Amino acid sequence: MKTDPAHRPRVLVLGGGFGGLQCARALAGKPVNVLLLDRHNYHLFTPLLYQVASSLLNPSEISFPLRRVLRDRNVRVRLAEVARLDLAGRRVHAADGHVFDYDWLVIATGCDTNFFGMDSIERAALGLKHLPDAMALRNHVLSCFEAALLENDPEARQRWLNFLVVGGGPTGVEYSGALCELFRLALPRDFPDLDVRQSRVVLVEALDRLLYDFPPELGEYTKRALERKGVEVRLGTRVTEVEDHTGVRLADGGRIGARTLIWAAGVKAAVPPADPPLPLTPQGRVDVDENLLVRGQDRAFAIGDVAGALWEGEPLPMMAPPAMQQGRHVAAQITRALEGLPLEPYRFHDKGVMATIGRSAGVAALGRLRLKGFIGWIAWLVIHLYYLIGFRNRLIVLSRWTYNYFRLDRPIRLITNSGVANKRATDSSSSP
Amino acid sequence: MKTDPAHRPRVLVLGGGFGGLQCARALAGKPVNVLLLDRHNYHLFTPLLYQVASSLLNPSEISFPLRRVLRDRNVRVRLAEVARLDLAGRRVHAADGHVFDYDWLVIATGCDTNFFGMDSIERAALGLKHLPDAMALRNHVLSCFEAALLENDPEARQRWLNFLVVGGGPTGVEYSGALCELFRLALPRDFPDLDVRQSRVVLVEALDRLLYDFPPELGEYTKRALERKGVEVRLGTRVTEVEDHTGVRLADGGRIGARTLIWAAGVKAAVPPADPPLPLTPQGRVDVDENLLVRGQDRAFAIGDVAGALWEGEPLPMMAPPAMQQGRHVAAQITRALEGLPLEPYRFHDKGVMATIGRSAGVAALGRLRLKGFIGWIAWLVIHLYYLIGFRNRLIVLSRWTYNYFRLDRPIRLITNSGVANKRATDSSSSP
C-alpha cells in the first residue's frame, strides 16, 4: 500500500507519557503521519520522580527529550496545551489558537493530582506527579531545614522538621522511605547545629493497610519495614483540615504540627474538554469500549490513566504497564483499520506490582510470586533500570544508586529557587 | 592559644562564591568561629554556567552544596539575604530580621549583571550570571525553536531563530560559540521540519575587538574562529533600544529582528547597603586599602568582584583567581591579627586569562605564553576540571564533555518551566 507521504492518514496523539509514547513509537514507519502533542518537551519516567524529590537524581536523568526518542520520518512533535477536542470536526484546538486536524485520535493525557475538592488542602499541599512538583518539593524540603536552623522557638522549629505524607500507595510509601533516609543518613553531616533526628516523617493512609493494590502480607511487611526506617505510619485516618503555618487535623481527632504536607493520596484522569463532552466512567475516566475506542466514537481512542478500560469487570489501575500495552495495541489497531481489517479487543497482561521501601528493601507481587526485602529491592532496581529510556540514563542512574548505596549520600542537595525560605506548603505567608 | 570554642572571635563571611568559600576553608581549624551567609545553599562554578545554559551540563554539576564543602567544626553556613551592614555596631542585618554579630567581617558579595541603567534592556534581556539565569536561558532558547515551528509567517519565524548576544568578553564569546554549536550540531535532528541552519547567532561588542582583556592577537583569532563556527560578530557598535517582540536597534543604525537578547556586556559590584555607606571606587566597587580592609575600617575586609583592590595602579579584573587569592589572604591576615602580628599587604599573582570558542578551540594567555586553537582548548579543559569542586563532579563533567565531543549531542535539552512558549526576553506579552 503506497501512498503519497503528504496524504497519509493523520494520527494525532495527545500526550507523551507511557501510553502516548509507545503508541507513537509503534506507528513509526507505518503509512501514517503521526503528530504527538505535549505540554512538555520531555517524556517523564514518573516511577523515579520521588528520587528527584529526595535529592538523589537530576531531573534530566528521568526526563527524556521527546524529540530525541521520536526521530522517525513519519512522527512529529509539537509543544501545545490542549484546549478543546472537536470530535465531530476531527480537530483539536490548542490553547495558543493552533488547530490540529486528524483522521485518528489517541487521547493519552494521563492524570493529575486529586485533592478530592478540598481547596484548603490543594492550596497548602505539595503534589508529586509532575517534574516541577518534584523540583519544588526538593527545594522545599531542604529549605525547611535551613529555616529550622534560624528558628529559636522549639515548637516552631519542630514544625519545620515534621513532614506529613498523605497516601499509602507506592508514591507515598516510596517517598516517605526516601525522605526518612535523606534525614537520617545524608543531612546530619550538613546540619551539625541541628538535631536532625528530631525530624519526623508521618505517613497517613485512610485505608487499614499500606499498598492496598498489593497482596495484604506485602502491605503489612511494608509497614514494619517503614517503621524500622523511622517513618511513623498512621492507618485508618485522613487529613480533614489544614491550619495555616501550624499543622493539620486528622479525622481520628489527632493533630500534627507540620509545615509540610505532601499529597500522594490520589490521582484523577486528566480528561480534556471536548465538544461534545467525552463520556465518563463512574471513576471520572474516559469511557472506552473493548477496542479502546471512546464510547460512541469510531476514530478516537483513549488509553492509559485517562481511559477507564475495564478488565474482568474492574477498571484497570492507573499505572505504566497497562498504558504502554494500550499504546501499542491502539497503534496496531490503526494499522489494521488502514488495511481494512476489523479491530481487535484489548487484552490486559498483568505484569504485577512493585514498590521500594528505601535502601535494601522492596516488595513485589509478580503473578503468584511474592518478593520482599533485599530480593524485592533488587527486582525493583532491575525492572526500573530496564524500562528507563536511554542507555546513558541507565548508566548514570545505576552509578548514582551505587554511590548512594555505599556512601549514603544524596548529591543533588540544591535549592534552585530564589533560595530563601519556603513559600509553599502550609506556609502561605513569607515569614518563618 | 587555647580559647573556649564558644568564645572565639567570630568571623562573618558574606557570600559563598570563589572568594568567600576560599576564605572560609582557609579558616577551618583556626581558633575562630566562622559563619558564612549566602542567598543560595550552593557554591556556583560560574565559568561553566554557559554550559548549563546551552543544554550540556546539569545545574548540579556546577553547583556544590555549601554545607558539603564546609564540614569543619568551626565553620557554619546560614541561608540569608543581607539587608544592611552596621559597621559601627559590628553586626549584619538579614532581610528576614535575623542579626549576626561579628568580630571580623569579610564582604565577598560578588557582582550582578550590569545593564548600565538601561531599563528597556533590563526588562527584555536575559542575563547569564546566576544559576537561575542559566536555567531560564536554556528553557528560553529551546522554547524559541518550538515556537518557530508553530509560526507560519516567515519573518516572525525568523525572529524566533535570531539570537543576539551582547558583550564580547569571555562569557559572550563562550556562550555564542556554544549556542551556534547547539544549533548546528544537536538541534537539526530534533527539528526535521525546521531549517535550523536559518538560525543566527549575532555577537555584538562595543569595543573594536573581542576579549579586550586578552592580548590583541588572541582577540582577532577568536573573531575568526567564531565566524568559522557561524557566529556573526559585530564590533564597534552597541544596542541602543529594544523594540518589544521585534528586535533591537544598534548605535550604527543597524537593526536586528530577534526575540532573544542575551546580555553579557558587563557586571557591577554587588555592594551591600551599609550604615555608614561603604566607600566606593570610581568603578563602584568597595574601596579597600592594600591589606584589603575596607577603607577607614579595621575589622571589615572586602574581597573578590565586590572589592576594588588595585594592583600596579589598576583595578583587578572581576575574575575567580584574584577572588580566591584574596579569600586565602584575608584568612591569613585574620589569623595573624589574632596572634598579634601586623597585617601584610595583598599581592596579586597573575594566573593569566583563558576562554573557549566551542569545540576544539580556545585561547589562553598565561604569562608570556599564548595558546590558541586545539591546544588552547585542552588547556582550558584541564584548568577548569582542576578548579571544579569535587571528584565526582569532575568525573561527570569530563564524561559529558567526552560524550559531547564524539556524539555532538547536548543531553539536557529539557524545558523545565511550564513548558509552553517563551515569557521572557523581547517577548513581554504571551502570544507568539
Is A289 within 8 Å of A301 (Cβ atoms)? no
Count Cα atoms within 13 angstroms, Cβ side, for A356: 23
Residues 6+ apart with CB under 8 A from A224: none
- Cα distance from A339 to chain B (closest Cα, Å)? 28
Q: What is the pLDDT of residue A395?
A: 83
Are residues A418 and B39, on separate chains, in Cβ contact within 8 Å?
yes
Q: What is the pLDDT of residue B426?
A: 40
Looking at the DSSP assignment, which residues form a beta bridge with residue A105?
A12, A300
Residue window 145-164, chain B: list those with CB within 8 Å of chain A: 146, 149-150
What is the H or E stretch that residue A314 is in? strand A314-315
Q: The domain B5-39+80-113+268-338 is classified under which CATH number: 3.50.50.60, 3.30.465.10, 3.30.360.10, 3.30.1360.120?
A: 3.50.50.60
Residue window 7-66, chain B: list those with CB within 8 Å of chain A: 38-42, 58-60, 63, 65
Are residues A79 and B135, on separate chains, in Cβ contact within 8 Å?
no
Closest residue, chain A, to B146 (C-alpha): A79
| A38 contact residues in B (CB cutoff 8 A) | 419
| B412 contact residues in A (CB cutoff 8 A) | 60
Helices and strands, number each (H, E), in chain A? 13, 25
- AA letter at A388: L
What is the H or E stretch that residue A260 is in? strand A260-263
Are residues B39 and A403, on separate chains, in Cβ contact within 8 Å?
no
Count Cα atoms within 13 angstroms, Cβ side, for A327: 30
pTM as predicted: 0.91
Are residues B392 and A411, on separate chains, in Cβ contact within 8 Å?
yes
Is B135 within 8 Å of B416 (Cβ atoms)? yes
| B192 contact residues in A (CB cutoff 8 A) | 71, 73, 76
Q: What is the pLDDT of residue B298?
A: 95
Are residues A415 and B41, on separate chains, in Cβ contact within 8 Å?
yes
Is B74 within 8 Å of B27 (Cβ atoms)? yes
Q: Considering chain A, what percentage of its residues have pLDDT values greater than 70?
A: 96
Cβ of residue B420 closer than 8 Å to a chain A Cβ: yes
Using DSSP's 3-state secondary structure scheme, residue B10 falls into strand
Out of B71, B392, B411, whose CB is closest to A189? Answer: B71
First to last CA, chain B: 68
Confidence of residue B430 (pLDDT cuts 50, 70, 90): very low
- Cα distance from A258 to chain B (closest Cα, Å)? 21
Cell representation of residue A306? 485517562
Cβ of residue B394 closer than 8 Å to a chain A Cβ: no
Cβ of residue A76 closer than 8 Å to a chain B Cβ: yes
The yes-or-no verdict on residue B428 having pLDDT over 50 is no
DSSP letter at B287 equals P
What is the H or E stretch that residue B63 is in? strand B63-65
Identify from A416, A417, A422, A431 which residue to disrupt to test chain B contact, counting B C-beta atoms within 10 A and taking the largest count: A416
Q: What is the pLDDT of residue A2?
A: 55
Out of A40, A96, A419, whose CB is closest to B415? Answer: A40
Give yes or no on whether A5-39+80-113+268-338 and A119-265+359-407 have one common fold: yes
Cβ of residue A332 closer than 8 Å to a chain B Cβ: no
Identify from A36, A41, A82, A406 which residue to disrupt to test chain B contact, counting B C-beta atoms within 10 A and taking the largest count: A41
Are residues B39 and A419, on separate chains, in Cβ contact within 8 Å?
yes
Out of A78, A135, A142, whose CB is closest to B41? Answer: A142
Are residues A95 and B135, on separate chains, in Cβ contact within 8 Å?
no
Sign of CA dihedral A59, B201, B425, B172: positive
Out of B414, B420, B431, whose CB is closest to A63? Answer: B414
- Cα distance from B64 to chain A (closest Cα, Å)? 8
- What is the rounded CA–CA span in Å between residue A53 and residue A174? 11
| A132 contact residues in B (CB cutoff 8 A) | 416-418
Closest residue, chain B, to A131 (C-alpha): B416
Q: What is the pLDDT of residue B425?
A: 41
The runs of H, that is alpha helices, within A183-244 are 187-190, 216-229
Out of A59, A95, A146, whose CB is closest to B414? Answer: A59
- Cα distance from A52 to chain B (closest Cα, Å)? 12
Total length of chain A: 432
- pLDDT tens digits along B106-132: 999 999 999 998 888 998 999 999 999
Which long-range contacts does A188-194 make (Cβ < 8 Å, 24+ apart)? Answer: A189/B67, A189/B68, A189/B71, A190/A145, A190/A413, A190/B65, A190/B67, A190/B68, A190/B71, A191/A145, A191/A149, A191/B67, A192/B71, A192/B73, A192/B76, A193/A149, A193/B76, A194/A145, A194/A148, A194/A149
- Number of A–B residue contacts, CB under 8 Å: 136
Q: How would DSSP label each residue in A234-247?
A: EES--EEEEETTTE
- Cα distance from B86 to chain A (closest Cα, Å)? 20
Confidence of residue B6 (pLDDT cuts 50, 70, 90): confident
Query: Which of B174, B241, B339, B344 is an active site residue?
Result: B174
CATH architecture of the domain formed by A119-265+359-407: 3-Layer(bba) Sandwich (3.50)
Out of A67, A79, A413, whose CB is closest to B419? Answer: A79
B241 in catalytic set: no
| A429 contact residues in B (CB cutoff 8 A) | none
- pLDDT tens digits along B38-83: 999 999 999 999 999 999 999 999 999 999 999 888 999 999 999 9
- What is the rounded CA–CA span in Å between residue A37 and residue A85? 13
- CB neighbours of residue A107 within 10 Å: 33
Is A373 within 8 Å of A361 (Cβ atoms)? yes
The yes-or-no verdict on residue B431 having pLDDT over 70 is no
Q: Locate the domains of chain A by residue range.
A: 5-39+80-113+268-338, 119-265+359-407
CA distances from A378 to A181, A322, A354, B70 (A): 18, 23, 11, 35
CA distances from B387 to A221, B175, B350, B382, B393 (A): 48, 20, 16, 9, 11
| A432 contact residues in B (CB cutoff 8 A) | 96
Q: What is the pLDDT of residue B2?
A: 54
Burial A265-282 (b: 16+ CB within 10 A, else e): bbbbbbbbebeeebeebe
Q: How far is CA B339 from the centre of its chain?
A: 36
- AA letter at A265: A
Q: What is the pLDDT of residue B318?
A: 94
Cβ of residue A132 closer than 8 Å to a chain B Cβ: yes
| A96 contact residues in B (CB cutoff 8 A) | 150, 420-421, 431-432
Residues 6+ apart with CB under 8 A from B158: B198, B257
Cβ of residue B389 closer than 8 Å to a chain A Cβ: no
Are residues A414 and B96, on separate chains, in Cβ contact within 8 Å?
no
Is B109 within 8 Å of B82 (Cβ atoms)? yes
Closest residue, chain A, to B66 (C-alpha): A190
Identify from B34, B413, B429 which residue to disrupt to test chain A contact, counting A C-beta atoms within 10 A and taking the largest count: B413
**Which residues of A are catalytically annotated?**
174
| A189 contact residues in B (CB cutoff 8 A) | 67-68, 71
Residue window 80-99, chain B: list those with CB within 8 Å of chain A: 80-81, 95-98
Residue whose C-alpha cell reads 481547596 in the numeric block: A119
Residue window 255-284, chain B: list those with CB within 8 Å of chain A: none
Are residues B142 and A412, on separate chains, in Cβ contact within 8 Å?
no
The yes-or-no verdict on residue B417 having pLDDT over 90 is no
Are residues A413 and B68, on separate chains, in Cβ contact within 8 Å?
yes
Sites in chain A below the pLDDT cut of 50: 418-432
